[in-house]
Each structure stands twice: as structure tokens, then as C-alpha cells.
A and B are shown apart, each in its own frame.
Chain A
Amino acid sequence: DTAVSQTPKYLVTQMGNDKSIKCEQNLGHDTMYWYKQDSKKFLKIMFSYNNKELIINETVPNRFSPKSPDKAHLNLHINSLELGDSAVYFCASSQGIVWGNEQFFGPGTRLTVL
């Protein structure tokens, strides 16, 4: 019944490694997002996809690459992980990009880079 799911919940890895986080939504939404929440709890948009097309690409290092194989999935691949990448990453979805739409969030993936 989970609306927006992410895997894994926790990810601990060494600097320099490559890792992926997967996200799936079963709400039939057209728009999906990736957010980064730092230790001060500030939520920052990274990417947004609408109908599998990239519509928001904030100032994020090229090491981060989103992939949307279909409307229900938006995965995040991170190359050459750095200490500063440690954070909680949230996937979210909404019915569209119209203002006022509710965003539904996944449970988050806590990434720790050692």
C-alpha cells in the first residue's frame, strides 16, 4: 500500500564509491522529485521529472544522475561519492507541476559516506 517507496532505507559506503537509490510511486502521478535534506533539516530540490522528462535540474554536481525508466520510477545514481554527499535523500511525487499540488514523500534514504 506504500504510496512512494525508496530503497535502501540506509546506505553506508566509502568515499569514491558509486551507488544508486531507487524510488517507485504507485499513485499514478506524472511528476517525481529528488530532494536532499542536510543535517540542519533544510530540504533542497535536486531534480524533477514530469512524464519522464527532466524539468528541474538544480545546481547539482554532475556526479548525480537521475534516471526515469517510466512515470512510476525515478532512480538516483551517484558517482564518486564524497563526504559532503552524506544526507537524507527524499523521493517525492505529485499529480503534476501545477502549483498547489500536494507532494507525497517517500521515507527517505539516509546516506552516510565514510
Chain B
Amino acid sequence: TQLLEQSPQFLSIQEGENLTVYCNSSSVFSSLQWYRQEPGEGPVLLVTVVTGGEVKKLKRLTFQFGDARKDSSLHITAAQPGDTGLYLCAGYSNYQLIWGAGTKLIIKP
């Protein structure tokens, strides 16, 4: 069974701080996606990474795919209250997305 483990499960920090959340697996994925989910809504795609070692930036968010395509990280610089949400990673394998359990992030003003 393929699993994606996300850490930490919960993170609460002050506005302006930096943070990194992780998504790890023992399996190789064709691609990996990061989604953000806000309360009462469905997840929304942030980024898709495909190539091992790939780095993508989305404003203050930096996503990295591990060289072996088994893990990924999301780094947020100078976090803002608007970054609050549940961050989910999901890896593609056999035509379906395998989802991590998410990191719940709270940014306090």
C-alpha cells in the first residue's frame, strides 16, 4: 500500500515566520501535487511537480520534489494569516491520486 506521510500534522506560528512542511513516501510517484483546503471548501491545487529535484515557486511558497521522486517539501517565507489552511500533498500512481493526511497550518497575526 502506497502511503504519503505529511509532517508536522499541525503547525501554529506567528505572522512573519518561515516554515517548512514535508511529504514523504517509500514509493516513487509520477508526479506530486500540493493542494490547500480552507474550512468548508474543497482542496485547491497550488502546484504540480514532475521532475526529480524540481523546484517551483509561487510567490512566497517554494515547492521541491525530491531527487528520487519519493518526497516533497513546501517552504513558506514570511507567513501571513492568509496562508492559514490545510495543506495536502498527493502523488499520482496508477491513474489515481494517493493523498497525505495533511498539515493544518495556522498563522497568527
| B residues whose Cβ falls under 8 Å from a Cβ of A | 30-31, 33, 37, 40-45, 48, 50, 86, 88, 90, 92-93, 95-97, 99, 101-102, 104
Contacts of B95 in A (CB 8 A): 48, 55-56, 97, 99
Contacts of B44 in A (CB 8 A): 105
| A residues whose Cβ falls under 8 Å from a Cβ of B | 4, 40-45, 48, 55-56, 90, 92, 97, 99-100, 102-108
Residue of B nearest to A91 (CB): B42
B43 touches A105 (CB 8 A): yes
Query: Which applies to chain B's interface (DSSP): helix, strand, loop or mixed?
Result: strand
Can you report 25 residue pairs joining A to B where beta carbons are below 8 Å apart?
Answer: A40-B101, A41-B101, A41-B102, A41-B104, A42-B101, A43-B99, A45-B99, A48-B95, A48-B96, A55-B95, A90-B42, A90-B43, A99-B93, A100-B30, A100-B48, A100-B50, A102-B48, A103-B43, A104-B45, A105-B41, A105-B43, A105-B44, A107-B40, A107-B41, A108-B40
Residue of B nearest to A99 (CB): B92
Also in contact, A42 and B99, with CB within 8 A (given A105-B43, A108-B40): yes
* Docked CA distance A67–B5 (Å): 32
* Docked CA distance A104–B37 (Å): 12
* Docked CA distance A55–B44 (Å): 23
Smallest distance from the beta carbon of B75 to chain A beta carbons, Å?
Answer: 22
* Docked CA distance A56–B86 (Å): 26
The one of B42, B92, B102 in contact with A108, judged by C-beta atoms closer than 8 angstroms, is B42
Smallest distance from the beta carbon of A70 to chain B beta carbons, Å?
Answer: 21
A108 touches B97 (CB 8 A): no
